[in-house]
Amino acid sequence: MGSERLLDPFIAAADRALRAIAAPAHASRPYPGAALPPTLTDAQRRESAALMRVNHAGEVAAQALYHGQALAARAPATRALLLKAAHEEADHLGWCEQRLRELGSNPSRLNPLWYCGSFTIGALAGTFGDRASLGFVAETERQVEGHLEEHLRRLPGADSASRAVVDAMRSDEIAHAGSARAAGAMELPGLIRGLMRGTAKVMTRTAYWI
């Protein structure tokens, strides 16, 4: 019985991983792009699809980061905060998947790679303690906020549906960063922030095409 309890967190983590990368995502909140008619040219549709594929890959990575950090979290309150954020990121996955279907496109074929790599990074961040892990959340969300703002500038003006989805996601990311800071997040060193930006750049540039 004792050994089974020790394995429970790892079984739960494996279940969350399979749901994130193998099962269709289901959002618990209404789809922000609902009732917005398609008015895109073929070129605009391709650009929107590529950007939404990047956003979907980013949400897969965010799920993995939070799941890895939750596995390594020391305080129950920190674990709860991370899993709550992951649950909200699952809504983003569902929204992005729906928008990709509407645009006649598909998620990144490299999503399993994004998940595995991000889970490992999240678990490693968690080993440095909860304040460092929360600092990782705050910095991640700050960078994601900037990334989404860039996408709002790049999305075709006629694509009101994708813009509504991205804007709703951006509001959640701001809230996640604020929650992490309120819970005691530490400021990460500049070197770590730079490495995070570089890693994110590799993923976003690759997911744009694959």
Cβ–Cβ < 8 Å for 195, 140: no
Residue 5 lies in a domain: no
| Per-residue pLDDT tens digits for 10-44 | 555 555 555 555 556 677 888 998 766 667 899 99
- pTM for the complete prediction? 0.85
In a domain, 14, yes or no: no
Nearest to 72 by CA among 22, 18, 141, 136: 136
The total number of structural domains in the chain stands at 1
Domain extent, residue 98, equals 40-207
**CATH number reported for the structural domain that contains residue 80 in this entry:** 1.20.1260.10
Using CA atoms, how far apart are residues 31 and 146, in angstroms rounded to an integer? 22
166-176 residue pLDDT tens: 999 999 999 99
CA-atom Rg of the chain in angstroms:
17
- CA dist 55 and 49 (Å) reads 10
pLDDT means over runs of 10, the chain (210 residues): 48 55 70 74 94 93 89 91 86 92 92 90 90 91 92 93 94 92 91 88 91
